[in-house]
Amino acid sequence: MPGTCRATGGVDVTEEDRRAPAAVVFDALGLDYEKAFVSSEGHRASLQWLSERLEPGSRVLDVGSGTGRPTARTLTESGHRVLGVDVSPVMVELASRQVPEAEFRLADIRELVWKDAEFDAVCVYFSLLQMSRAEQSELVRALARALRPGGLAVLATVPLDVEGVDGIFMGQPVRLTSYSAEDFTTVATEAGLTVLAAEHATFSPAHPDAVPEPHLFLHCRRDAD
């Protein structure tokens, strides 16, 4: 049973209630998420695109690192140094066990501050969808600044023009916000990224409660200062 604490006004608030909504969802999903998305050819092709363009030993930030597979696993096997950040304790524990060659940190990515030009690459695979549009745009700008000039970024999302829509994802209640493909591309360019390629795909997760999803992968480079 989750612990409880007394909030102002005499209302009981569970520890689950105090966690970020994404943490609640992905704590519940655990390895089921990996199993549902492991066969995504678009994701693997995107990782190949990135790996082929990075120098050996590149420092890569993996935002919303999940179980560590396939992103952190693929990049560490290619000889890169990966820092994964996830808001879900369950996901961080799984990733640390499954990809011990990488470093994983339990944190809300919106609350972290990075040095300018700290990373050679940044990966954001479908980890913005439970943030507001303002938060998504602000985070992409912050991540672009954390890239060295000429560094690479992969931004992947479900390109739907929705804001604050309640739905069910793999049996879990979620509130989703996203951009259209055109507007998400604008978010990237306004953050100082040059979009080198935009790949579209449709993927059906291997889960009885999942439905086919449109996927957009933006492969980007930070412009020189």
> Domain ranges in the chain?
21-222
What pLDDT, in 10s, does the model give residues 130-183? 999 999 999 999 999 999 999 999 999 999 999 999 998 988 999 999 999 999
Q: How many helices (H) and strands (E) does the chain have?
A: 8, 11
Work out the burial of residue 111: count CB atoms within 10 Å of its CB; fewer than 13 is exposed, 13-18 middle, 19 or more buried.
Answer: exposed
How does residue 110 score in pLDDT terms, banded at 50, 70 and 90? very high
Separation between Cα atoms, residue 222 and residue 225, nearest integer Å: 9
How does residue 223 score in pLDDT terms, banded at 50, 70 and 90? confident
What pLDDT, in 10s, does the model give residues 43-82? 999 999 999 999 999 999 999 999 999 999 999 999 999 9
Q: Is 195 helix (H, G, I), strand (E, B) or coil?
A: strand
Give this prediction's pTM: 0.89
pLDDT of res. 116: 95
What pLDDT, in 10s, does the model give residues 170-193? 889 999 999 999 999 999 999 999
CA–CA distance from 61 to each of 57, 117, 123 (Å)? 13, 12, 6
**Under CATH, what is the fold of the domain 21-222?**
Rossmann fold (3.40.50)
pLDDT of res. 211: 87
